[in-house]
Amino acid sequence: MSCSCRTIVGAMGKKLKIIEFSFVPDTTAFTAGDALYGDITSPVEVRDVFDFDNGNGKVLEFTVENHHATTVTKKGISAYLFHTLPASTAVAINAAESISAADFPKLCGKVSVVTADYADSAFAANVVTIASKTSNTDDLPIVWNASTVSKTSLWVKLVTDEAATYSSSGLMHVKIIIECF
């Protein structure tokens, strides 16, 4: 898995954080509510999302790409965003993801894509499917960091919203763009 968080300062001084990570999803059939991971663990910690302790921002975009797939997989996926490391972290691949009552106060947002959000592009033998939600198409959450330990981090849990099976030649790429203020 590769994970990165980079900063772009745009017009009018807006500061955008682009969070990206990629992984090879497990090829065992997923059911709705399963942790969607392969060669990474749940949740993904993204460091330095916020420039100052206990910062905040608005999610502007959530994109899911499935690269190099031999078959098109267009399934609903949700990302649960936490400002503090959730207590329910040890989740096996394809196991039901859980958010305990103790973790709900740590939850600072949820973003989702559904089957209808996907668009396909075919290149030779490869198919790329891309689903994206932006601030223009969906009410996306404000995120903040109230952690007392990792005050500039954000944790992401990916969960399947419906049954899915992914190709062994696939690569899942997730991008979350946050405007920090």
Return the C-alpha torsion angle 83, 85, 87, 92, nearest 10: 120
Report pTM: 0.84
pLDDT by residue (tens digit) across 105-152?
A: 888 888 888 888 888 776 666 677 788 877 655 566 677 766 666 677
Task: Quickly state the pLDDT bin for 14 (edges 50, 70, 90).
Answer: confident
State whether the Cα torsion 99-104-110-116 is positive or negative: positive
CB atoms within 10 A of CB 156: 20
Overall number of domains in the chain = 1
* Interacting residues of 52 by C-beta distance below 8 A, sequence separation 6+: 152
Task: Write down the pLDDT at residue 30.
Answer: 85
Q: What is the mean pLDDT of the chain?
A: 78
Task: Write down the pLDDT at residue 95.
Answer: 77
State the residue range of the domain holding 25. Answer: 2-180
Go through the chain and tell me how many residues it has.
Answer: 181
